[in-house]
Amino acid sequence: MYRRILVPLEHSSYDRVIIDHVRQLARLCGSAIVLIHVADGWAARNQQSLKLRESEEMRVDRDYIEGLCAWLRGEGFETESILAGGDPASEI
């Protein structure tokens, strides 16, 4: 049914609720899980155009999303993480 499930995360306590739901759906369908978080601070929004280095916010967000991916892999899921920067509605 679903080969890949894209899960936008906001780096908050609400993420765990959606991940628990997606785990059940992914297990049922044999789906891979793709986690995405969009860093939206000033540096993240302007990183490409101003050729900025990754900000502390972005490093923390990257560690967070990669940690969730590692946990899901340990549960037996195929996972991928994407850290985008800019406007969440446009990036997702």
Domain holding 32: CATH number? 3.40.50.620
Q: How far is CA 11 from CA 29, 37, 50, in A?
A: 26, 7, 25
Predicted confidence (pLDDT) per residue in 9-35, tens digit: 998 999 999 999 999 999 999 999 999
Q: Please tell me the total count of domains within the chain.
A: 1
Predicted confidence (pLDDT) per residue in 32-80, tens digit: 999 998 877 655 555 555 455 566 788 888 899 999 999 999 999 999 9
Instruction: Fill in the DSSP letter of residue 41.
Output: S
Name residues whose C-beta falls within 8 Å of residue 34's C-beta, 6 or more positions apart in sequence.
Answer: 4, 5, 6, 7, 79, 80, 81, 82
How many of the other CB atoms lie within 10 Å of CB of 61? 23
Domain span holding position 39: 4-91
pTM for this model (two decimals):
0.82
The burial class, CB within 10 Å (0-12 / 13-18 / 19+), for 46 is middle
